[in-house]
Amino acid sequence: MIEDAAITSQILDDIAAEVRMCTLCPLAKARTKAVPGEGAAGARIMFIGEGPGEQEDRQGRPFVGPAGQFLEQLLRRVGLEREEVFITNIVKCRPPGNREPMPDEVAACKPYLDGQIAAIWPSVICLLGKPATMTVLGIGEPMGKIHGQIVERDGVKYVPLYHPAAALHQASLAPVLLADITRLKPLLTSQS
Ligand code: URA
């Protein structure tokens, strides 16, 4: 097990190093820092967002701005610290003005995300917002219809959730996001 964790850690480090040097799409030109993702190599839960924002681009770390603070609060409500999970995005460089990533940018970056998922192989993957849900599951339904519903594929439980930034902009979504995460608590805190 210790060896497994060391191998996973090495694979994640290798992916992060590649991401930091990546020039595969135009987002590379405008970035301050690439944001590969971070967290426990042995994480059973992964959170996938859309793309780095201003603070993430400056620090090279995912979800460190207001949406990240809200995500940390939500995690604590179910007894988790961010160090226990793995947090990443569908694109690893900031889209200008925080626009949605373009399909070609998502496609260029996808192998990095696929590599992270394959290395960690978590039990639960929370997909934060529609772009993450579309990219990972190919499901483009409105969040209002699919949030909180578990989709099981190859033994992994995928859960589309409202993006924490959406809940910050639209206050009525915050209790919905909290309720979805709370309902997932048994899944998020089990060791399987
Ligand atoms: N929003 C995201 O989708 N990802 C981040 O890392 C920060 C904000």
pLDDT digits (tens, 9 = 90+) for 26-41: 999 999 999 999 999 9
* Residue-wise DSSP of 146-171: HTT--EEETTEEEEEE--HHHHHHST
pLDDT digits (tens, 9 = 90+) for 7-17: 999 999 999 99
Domains of the chain: 2-189 (3.40.470.10)
**Length of the chain in terms of residues written:** 192
Q: Contact at 8 Å (CB) between 73 and 100?
A: no
Q: How confident is the model at residue 5 (pLDDT cuts 50, 70, 90)?
A: confident
- List, chain by chain if needed, residues with CB within 6 Å of any ligand 1 atom: 49-53, 56, 62-63, 65, 67-68, 89, 165
Q: pTM (2 decimals)?
A: 0.96
Residue % of the chain over a pLDDT of 90:
93
CA of 100 from ligand 1 middle (Å) equals 11
- Whether 152 has a pLDDT exceeding 80, the answer reads yes
Looking from the CA of 27 toward its CB, the CA atoms found within 13 Å total 31
